[in-house]
Amino acid sequence: MLNFKNNIAKVEGWLTEAEGIFLYETAKKVRPGNAILEIGSWKGKSTICLGKGTQQGNEVQVYAVDPHIGSSEHQKMFGKVDTYQEFLQNIKNAGVEKYVEPIRKTSEEASKNIRKSIGFLFVDGAHEYKFVNLDYKLWFAKVVDQGVVAFHDSWHFPGPHLVTAKMLLFSSAIKNPQLIDTITSFTKVNKNSFFDRIYNIGFLFFRLIFGFYGFLKLKYKGSVIK
């Protein structure tokens, strides 16, 4: 079991314990022959959860894609950054460097070189709509049938919210949506059913209500995002 509070909470990043456990448990289940792909690693908090999962699972490769210069929101908060060496040290300290292949490129650059089938795609890169949508277009087709696709910050950032909302409303290739704190995840399928699509739309309305409640908590009671 993942010891989030003792091993991972100290690593700088924006991930709740429930989200970390979800990444860990999902990574454990990725089938041999497939890979795990993370878009946006920052200093390795989510990467460690994925690495711990595959370590306890089928030991599939984790590709951690990040140019390590910070997204636009990071640069607004911190200015010019270079997180690569701290990322490498964090995954080494966690004992998962064997399972993680860092790819210091943009998502678009990395997509030209990674051809392995993806069993779990975790999207947490730049949050502007054009970048989230680009990540979706670049990588979704590479996810295998019954693979998992997850987007972080999916109800309180417009980019991930809009991309996942479009998927829920119009995609015939996803089912079983879940909400884990700020993560929205789906199972990819070759073709979903009519009832799957109705459920997806109902889930979107649920998430809108949850998001409205979350915004109120963020505004009036302090941040609920750790």
Q: What is the per-residue pLDDT across 3-22, written as a single tens digit (0 to 9) for each?
A: 888 879 889 998 999 999 99
CATH classification code of 4-220:
3.40.50.150
> What ranges do the domains of the chain cover?
4-220
State the pLDDT at residue 222: 41
Backbone angles phi, psi at 43, to 5 degrees: -105, 10
Q: What pTM was computed for the model?
A: 0.92
Q: What is the per-residue pLDDT across 24-41, written as a single tens digit (0 to 9) for each?
A: 999 999 999 999 999 999
Which residues have C-beta within 8 Å of that of residue 100, sequence separation ≥ 6? 47, 50, 51, 62, 64, 91
Counting as low any pLDDT under 70, the low residues of the chain are 71-79, 212-226
State the pLDDT at residue 1: 77
